[in-house]
Copies of this chain bind each other. A is one copy, B any other.
């Protein structure tokens, strides 16, 4: 097996491990996968309009309407009117939504610690360095 194949294999094994970990974490919450993703985006980037949220989620605005409806019903988010343009609604996390975001972030930190525990200090630095490069340039 050449180096390209080897890296491909390790990359996708890693990705799949991450995926199933993420899914199992979400299943412990009261949220669906799409709701959890919306909360993560809103928590990370702050309030935004429907169209921007749809863009981040990679789905249509129609789908996003439904997701935000459910989040609103469960009191994780709310729509806020904008005076300057009454077509626009800013989606904002409620207290409960921010709480859920914080909890989810804690889970992420836990996984990172788990990963760190199998790496040396030097490897940790290498990994940060490499990920920064990839994130900035590769996608």
Q: Which residue numbers of A lie inside 8 Å of B, CB to CB?
A: 3-8, 10-15, 17-24, 58, 105, 108-109, 111-119, 123-124, 126-135, 137-139
On whether A126 and B128 interact (CB within 8 A), knowing A4-B113, A12-B108, A118-B137, the answer reads no
A-B contact pairs, 13 of them (CB 8 A): A4-B113, A7-B116, A7-B131, A10-B128, A13-B135, A15-B15, A17-B135, A24-B58, A115-B134, A123-B130, A123-B133, A126-B130, A127-B127
Question: Which single residue of chain B is at the shortest CB-CB distance from A113?
Answer: B4
Residues of A contacting B: mostly: helix
Shortest CB distance A63–B (Å): 13
Question: Which single residue of chain B is at the shortest CB-CB distance from A136?
Answer: B118
Shortest CB distance A118–B (Å): 4
A127 to B21, CA, bound (A): 21
Contact B58 A23 (CB under 8 A): yes
Contact B4 A131 (CB under 8 A): no
Shortest CB distance A119–B (Å): 6
Contact B58 A20 (CB under 8 A): yes
Report chain B residues within 8 Å CB of A15: 15, 18, 22
